[in-house]
Copies of this chain bind each other. A is one copy, B any other.
Amino acid sequence: MIYGAEDIFRDFLQGKDLKFTHERITVLREISRLKRHFDIEELYITLRKKDRKVSRASVYRTVPLLVESGLVEEIKTIDTHTYYEYTFGKEHHDHLICLKCGKIIEFHSEKLEHIQDEVCRKEDFSGVRHVLEIQGYCKKCG
């Protein structure tokens, strides 16, 4: 039996005595269809267009749950805007963000992860997740 994102989400919700509602599934399904990084407003509009009936409030309420469950990650950029990314089935990665063209380059470094674990141990801190963004200029904008 395949253990998919929806199973993870259901278990997560059950563990917190929250309910596995149509609205929450709809939001999760739509996110899993999106290839790129997205923001909540955009997600809501997409759902409206497809005539899926989920209110704005519910979309805004569901995304943080998905983040908490580990299926979605938050990306903060230079501007005030907050983006999200569906990360189920993807290896964890961090981002290089071009300050000029906005291009997002993904990268992963095992060494980096390792050092972060070290830092947490040293500070007696139990790390749950991290955000690492390097801002600068990509090859083209260099």
Q: Is the CB of B135 within 8 A of A127?
A: yes
Q: Is A132 an interface residue (CB 8 A)?
A: yes
Q: Is A42 an interface residue (CB 8 A)?
A: no
Q: Is the CB of A139 within 8 A of B124?
A: yes
A1 within 8 A of B: no
Contact B120 A109 (CB under 8 A): no
Q: In whole angstroms, how far apart are the Cα atoms of A120 and B136 in the complex?
A: 9
Q: Provide the residues of chain B in CB contact with A119, threshold 8 Å.
A: 96, 107, 109, 112, 134
Query: Please, what's the 1-or-0 string for A68-105, where 1 marks a CB less than 8 Å from any CB in chain B?
Result: 00000010101010100000000000001011000001
**Bound state CA distance, A111 and B136, in angstroms?**
20
CB of B134 within 8 A of CB of A125, answer yes
A residues 5-48 in Cβ contact with B at 8 Å: none
Partner of A115, one of B98, B112, B118: B112
- Interface residues of chain A, those whose CB is within 8 Å of chain B, are 74, 76, 78, 80, 82, 96, 98-99, 105, 107, 109, 111-112, 115-116, 118-120, 122-139, 142
**Beyond known contacts A112-B112, A112-B116, A127-B136: 14 more, CB 8 A cutoff:** A74-B78, A96-B119, A96-B120, A99-B128, A105-B123, A105-B125, A107-B122, A111-B115, A119-B134, A125-B138, A126-B138, A126-B142, A130-B132, A131-B132
